[in-house]
Amino acid sequence: MKWLKEWKPQQVNHALVMSEQDLEAYACWYLDEAHSIPPWTPLFAWSWVQGNRYGDLWAAEAIGLPRCHGTDWREIDGCAYMSPVLVTDEQEAGQREARFKEHLKLFMKNYDRIWQDVIEELTAHYSEFKAFDVDRSPTHKLYDHLEQVFNFNLRVWALHSWMMYSVYELYAFFEELCREQLGIDDTSPLWHRLMRGFDNKIFEADRWLWRLYQQAVELGLDSIFNNNPDEQVLPALEETEAGRKWHDEPQGFREFLQEHGWRMPRMVEFNCRAWVEDPTPAISFIRQYLAKGGNFELDAGRKQLIKEREEAEQEVLSRFPPSEQGWVTTLMKAAQRAGSFSEEHTFYFEQTSHSLMRRAALACGKRMVDKSLIEDPEDFVYLLPDEIKRNLIPLRLDYRGLVAERKRYYHQYCQRLPRPALIGKLANDPEAAMRHMIGSGDKVMAKITVGGAVEDRRELKADLYGNPASPGVATGPARLILSETDIVKIKPGEVLVAVTTYPSWTPVFPLLKGIILDRGASLSHAAIAGREYNIPVVVQTGEATGKLENGQRIKIDGAKGAVWILPNG
């Protein structure tokens, strides 16, 4: 850990930057690999550790997580590290346990209403924020708006962790029960059949885009899509009556963007434009759908998946004694919600909140550019919130030097990969580190940071091994996506290869034949969406993006968790 010893926070410093004291006071820090690789810009890193820390600690206390006071978070150069704060007093653990049990009962009984209430609270605030005119309001109002949006993000994280702890706990419990009683777990094809055939808010966007594509065909607009570069399609449509109709009518493209355009290609960053700012990616997807044609596979296949799920439910239930099938059904239904929740929560939590934060801070950036205090409005990502506010009223500090330095520092640390997965006292003893984490009983952390260990299956003679996440076999050319902005390059029939995927990517799913990820587990976005689109998914391969090349013909088996490179031609 020589690198860490020499490391000193230089360019970015705030209260949640890892300190020497933190390293001593906590047994182990775990890298949030699922979200913070590649490393973030300074502002986003700040927002993530602030938000997650607040949310986790608040929620763990609110629901009485028995063995854990929640997770603490720190930043090291654009990456997040987390550590569970264990409950060490047995008496306290006992009291929390009683509280937690009551919470789980309440949660199971009222899940639908609780989730509805959370959505209402979030959307009420979001509509207010969206209605605020960031560009034309006076600066003191923008200042106030920035405060509100950033503050509300803490509430977003609190609700997020509260829901996640509860939902994941029940999912993990049902999995444990199945492992113990039936010998299946979340890498089993039977489990995957059990967990699919459900709709969620994220799919609404895919379905809507598909409808827009069909309308474009009906209105004879295909040639406009096909004969213009993506960024000129909208202006060209504006010039025709049919095009305006397609854009402005109820359920048209404008409405689509208002509902689903508050998303950035990388859900967890501030440095790329949301679809509401730049709808080019959406246009590009419609063009891809035109090229592919056919039916919307999600809906075409859904009936079959539901039927298969019902059969899987019967199969699982039949292996419990008849006297126990009642409560097992209740638990199973609670566990089945985890997939849909896991997907659509990102729509209500991260996607919208992050794009609203970006919008507010970007508006501040624009005002600084107007006074030549920074060069590019997008440079706001190199500033911390206090620095933005300090320079908003009054607008007079020249930040160009600061931004240039920060930018240099950011590009430097982005090169510093890979980052250590574990740091602190247990860093050299991964098994002890895992025990420490499992001891916290925090299922969210276990599912996200670790994923399952991948088993040795040399007999398959595959080129890559991972964990099965959605069954099926497919062959096709590999498409590596290392930067979110590249997702528009995906062609129908390709197999997506990425480190991880975000729900904001789902519109590409109708085009794909399979998905291979470096990271992930059964509740990863690609796993859930892949199961619904009925395409094979292999997660946690560790090295797919390093080993596979664009255009290489590959075969993927999602039930076995294996990938083969095929001879070309």
Return residues touching other proteins (CB under 8 A).
Answer: 66-67, 93, 97, 100-101, 104-105, 108-109, 169-170, 172-173, 176-177, 180-184, 187-190, 315, 321, 323-324, 326-327, 330-331, 334, 441, 455-460, 468, 471, 559-560
Smallest separation (angstroms) from other proteins to the CB of 536: 13
The Cα 46–Cα 272 span in angstroms is 17
Beta carbons of 183 and 319 less than 8 angstroms apart? no
Beta carbons of 503 and 347 less than 8 angstroms apart? yes
The Cα 18–Cα 8 span in angstroms is 9
Q: Measured from the CB atom, is 101 or 371 closer to other proteins?
A: 101
> E strand or H helix at 305, and its extent?
helix 297-318
The residue type of 569 is G
Asked whether the CA dihedral 300, 303, 305, 306 is positive or negative, the reply is positive
Give residue 102's Cα distance to chain centre.
30
Q: Measured from the CB atom, is 43 or 63 closer to other proteins?
A: 63
Beta carbons of 503 and 266 less than 8 angstroms apart? no
Beta carbons of 525 and 454 less than 8 angstroms apart? no
The Cα 181–Cα 26 span in angstroms is 36
Smallest separation (angstroms) from other proteins to the CB of 462: 11
Q: Measured from the CB atom, is 264 or 448 closer to other proteins?
A: 448
Smallest separation (angstroms) from other proteins to the CB of 449: 18
Cβ-Cβ contacts under 8 Å for 166 (sequence gap 6 or more): 63, 103, 104, 107
Smallest separation (angstroms) from other proteins to the CB of 457: 4
Smallest separation (angstroms) from other proteins to the CB of 437: 14
Q: Measured from the CB atom, is 89 or 249 closer to other proteins?
A: 89
Q: Measured from the CB atom, is 4 or 432 closer to other proteins?
A: 432
Smallest separation (angstroms) from other proteins to the CB of 108: 5
DSSP state of 6: H
Smallest separation (angstroms) from other proteins to the CB of 459: 4
Q: Measured from the CB atom, is 385 or 536 closer to other proteins?
A: 536
Q: Measured from the CB atom, is 393 or 460 closer to other proteins?
A: 460
The residue type of 284 is S
Cβ-Cβ contacts under 8 Å for 315 (sequence gap 6 or more): 190
Q: Measured from the CB atom, is 165 or 296 closer to other proteins?
A: 165
The Cα 247–Cα 239 span in angstroms is 11
Cβ-Cβ contacts under 8 Å for 116 (sequence gap 6 or more): none
Q: Measured from the CB atom, is 130 or 319 closer to other proteins?
A: 319
CA distances from 31 to 76, 219, 513 (A): 10, 50, 31
Beta carbons of 344 and 159 less than 8 angstroms apart? no
Smallest separation (angstroms) from other proteins to the CB of 463: 16
Q: Give 142-211 as a DSSP string.
A: HHHHHHHHHHHHHHHHHHHHHHHHHHHHHHHHHHHHHHHHHS--TTSHHHHHHT-S---HHHHHHHHHHH
Smallest separation (angstroms) from other proteins to the CB of 251: 40
Smallest separation (angstroms) from other proteins to the CB of 338: 14
Q: Measured from the CB atom, is 64 or 514 closer to other proteins?
A: 64
Q: Measured from the CB atom, is 82 or 172 closer to other proteins?
A: 172
The Cα 110–Cα 489 span in angstroms is 43
Smallest separation (angstroms) from other proteins to the CB of 63: 12
